[in-house]
Structure 1
Amino acid sequence: MAGPLPLGDPAPPNGILPPSAAEGADDRSLAFYLHVPFCRVRCGYCDFNTYTATELRGAKQSDYADEAASEVEFAVRALSQSGLPARKVRTVFFGGGTPTLLPAADLIRMLDAVRTHHGIEPGAEITTEANPDSVDATYLRQLADAGFTRVSFGMQSAVPRVLATLERTHDPERVPLVVNWAKEAGLQVSVDLIYGTPGETLDDWRISVESALATQPDHISAYSLIVEQGTKLARQIKSGVVALPDEDLQADMYELIDARLAEAGFSWYEVSNWSTSPESRSRHNLAYWQSQDWWGIGPGAHSHVGGVRWWNVKHPAAYAGRMAEGVSPAVGRETLDAQARELERVLLGARIREGIAISSLASEARVAVAGLIADDLVNARAALAGTVELTLRGRLLADVVVRRLTA
């Protein structure tokens, strides 16, 4: 289970947002994130809000699709009563947990609720995460037939020893099978990798990168392992059972995958994401990085609409109770002031390839760009054209760039 929820103001039971949330809404897209908080086992590194069967305290997986559909219907009323215009949904993303632990019919019912109550734009991107051992060809065809367009497989590594350290239970030899089944169903495919696992070598990482490329996906994500407080992995590191991931080795691993993906025809479009074409980028994740509007459905899910952020009760049983009462599952929220919104715009915008227009920065930040170029953190040619775009070194030190642009 994840750590404590953020502190914030109380969220109203009717879900009504402050008037500021409606300002400029016609210029923003709307996305839905549907959190499925169930996992067969808990991985030692994970701090996501997920629950195994023994932790549900009376909540039922079989009831979850209807509970989530209730929040989808609640969302349309709350947005309308808050003065926001009716907007069809541009992207839908099922994350977890393991969404594909539920029957395909349950995911389809949740998607149908979005389609019925909000409407979905033609050509919308509809993605689900999946573990390689949680789907088969029939399951994937059912999703594609229902309108899903994309699947993101949690591959993480191709090396059994590394998977064991992460406590991932799938057989790495299954990954090519599920990717092929997804393609045959007509779905775009992303594979997710993690680098910097304790004990993982550069050669281990090279094997994983080559194995991912061999499946010929449309998209690859690669995230450095972050040791989150409260996880089993954090306790193992603290007690000396495993070693803390080496930051220099993680940098070498990032440089390896970036070079190898470039050779294979992939282009980076966000610090941790590469695609074979602009069309195969994750439009849902881009909505986050571009500060669009999204409503998060489910226990512990976070939402953002017009500078207002809120978060739901964490436990599935508490969430089910709120849905049965017909009240908002949100337990807290915050309204960002102008300074916080600008910080977030720079923090997120600097991570994507399109970068940030220099003319949109504060005067002090514009002055800082010259130093970032001198330190090989920002692309000089792009800066001359008016944009802050990270170099390879800048991607490795993205937090440094953001600090200097917002100091």
Structure 2
Amino acid sequence: MPEDGALPLDALRNAGERPLGFYLHVPYCATRCGYCDFNTYTATELRGSGGALASRDNYAATLIEEVRLARKVLGDDPRPVRTVFVGGGTPTLLPAGDLVRMLGAIREEFGLADDCEVTTEANPESVNPAYLAELREGGFNRVSFGMQSAKQHVLKILDRTHTPGRPEACVAEARAAGFDHVNLDLIYGTPGESDADWQASLDAAIGAGPDHVSAYALIVEEGTQLARRIRRGEVPMTDDDVHADRYLMTEQALSAAGFSWYEVSNWATSEAGRCLHNELYWRGADWWGAGPGAHSHVGGVRWWNVKHPGAYAQALGDGKSPGAGREVLSEEDRRVERILLELRLVEGCELSLLKPAGLAAAQKAVRDGLLEDGPYIEGRAVLTLRGRLLADAVVRDLVD
């Protein structure tokens, strides 16, 4: 990774044909959830590790330095930013004014598209009406709350600290602050969760009135507290059959409530309610990821930053890119990634991306009820409901 972050000359070729987004990573959490393996840090974990450089008190100013670096690296690229997504960690542990300042730096350096989608993630206990109002006034127009479950015993297994009912209240507060687009994140398949528990979570989420719901199967990642608890026999391992049953419950409940799937794990009440930023990822557009451990992609070049907040701040303070490494994707890499990501979308992927073995696999998948036959005839591979349950297996066959 060059110290100045310079990109290969070809990276910005035909850039005007692709939207540009920004991901801003805030790596701080009040507590660590037992299932989480994201690049996040609690105050205890940072104490004595990186000192003042790792502090969240001056984090906004540090991240703004990377936004300015992005302007230098991208040169005279004229594209206004189409989406901004602030994730973590818990971004809303920072003052609302800090998030607004970070957004303001992107606006100043690049400009924002007239219809720019600006999202922040938030834990329910980390915001209040005044905080949300300040975000809305500062240019944010979408908020995503981590609900996970409506049942206290499930939240306890996940080490989530909010109380049941608080996420639903947050949706109402966000609406009152002027947010038209609100997402609730749910996790299904937690050890000890029953069908009735999951149905209660779905009912609570739908009843809160968001226009977007994300629902993910719990993945037990190595090195997490949950993985250690399962290994010790304190809680049972997750079950793939249970995950499948819960997914079907999710599809049924959300469809009945007026939501439509547009990506395997995401549902929205309208096209306007979709998360445009995530669609940049799924469609291989360009995005700059700022913050410790953040990943970026511009014109087939992918890079990632150093993970520790102290090392990240030190690099920028020395006038260097915080990039830890990068790769230039080959045409074959990009073909495979397009299939991997686009097949998960409701529009599916073009059959023209498939090689002969993949085309044969697609024909078999249609016969097996994993791909829709109508879109296939029209030149696209689109997952059926059963295909969504087996999406990873379908993708493996199609990329051959």
How would you bin the TM-score normalised by the shorter chain? over 0.9
**8 Å CA contact retained: 2:171, 2:208:** yes
Q: Distance in 1 between matches of 2:43 and 2:190?
A: 27
Give SS of 1:294's match.
strand
The residue aligned with 1:14 is 4
Q: Distance in 2 between matches of 1:305 and 1:213?
A: 37
- Indicate whether 1:316 and 2:309 are aligned: yes
Please say which of residues 35-44 and 231-240 is displaced more in the overlay: 231-240
The residue aligned with 2:111 is 119
Report deviation, 1:351: 0.4
Of 179, 185, 197, which aligns to 2:171? 179
The residue aligned with 2:132 is 140
The residue aligned with 1:403 is 396
Which residues of 2 match residues 242-391 of structure 1 at below 5 A? Answer: 242-391=235-384
The residue aligned with 1:70 is 65
Q: Distance in 1 between matches of 2:355 and 2:14?
A: 21
Please say which of residues 157-166 and 357-366 is displaced more in the overlay: 357-366
- Indicate whether 1:155 and 2:150 are aligned: no
The residue aligned with 2:123 is 131
Percent of paired sites with the same residue: 54
Q: CA RMSD in A?
A: 1.0
Which residues of 2 match residues 186-197 of structure 1 at below 5 A? Answer: 186-187=178-179, 188-197=181-190
- In structure 1, stretches of 5+ residues that fail to align are 1-10
Q: Distance in 2 between matches of 1:52 and 1:210?
A: 32
The residue aligned with 1:4 is none
* Counterpart residue identity of residue 89, structure 2: G
Report deviation, 1:367: 2.7
Report deviation, 1:252: 0.1
Instruction: Tell me how many residue pairs correspond in the alignment.
Output: 394
Report deviation, 1:293: 0.4
The residue aligned with 2:386 is 393
* Counterpart residue identity of residue 173, structure 1: G
Q: Deviations over 1:72-96 (max 9, x none)?
A: 000010111xxx7321100000000
Report deviation, 1:199: 1.1
The residue aligned with 1:3 is none
**8 Å CA contact retained: 2:349, 2:381:** yes
Report deviation, 1:307: 1.1
TM, length-normalised to structure 1: 0.95
Report deviation, 1:370: 1.2
The residue aligned with 1:101 is 93
The residue aligned with 2:56 is 61
- In structure 2, stretches of 5+ residues that fail to align are none
Moved over 4 A (4+): none
Q: Deviations over 1:108-140 (max 9, x none)?
A: 000000000111100100000000100001110
Please say which of residues 318-327 and 364-373 is displaced more in the overlay: 364-373
The residue aligned with 2:214 is 221
* Counterpart residue identity of residue 167, structure 1: D
Q: Distance in 2 between matches of 1:340 and 1:384?
A: 26
Report deviation, 1:291: 0.3
* Counterpart residue identity of residue 67, structure 1: T
The residue aligned with 1:5 is none
* Counterpart residue identity of residue 76, structure 1: R
The residue aligned with 2:224 is 231
The residue aligned with 2:19 is 29
Give SS of 2:253's match.
helix
- Indicate whether 1:43 and 2:33 are aligned: yes
* Counterpart residue identity of residue 164, structure 1: K
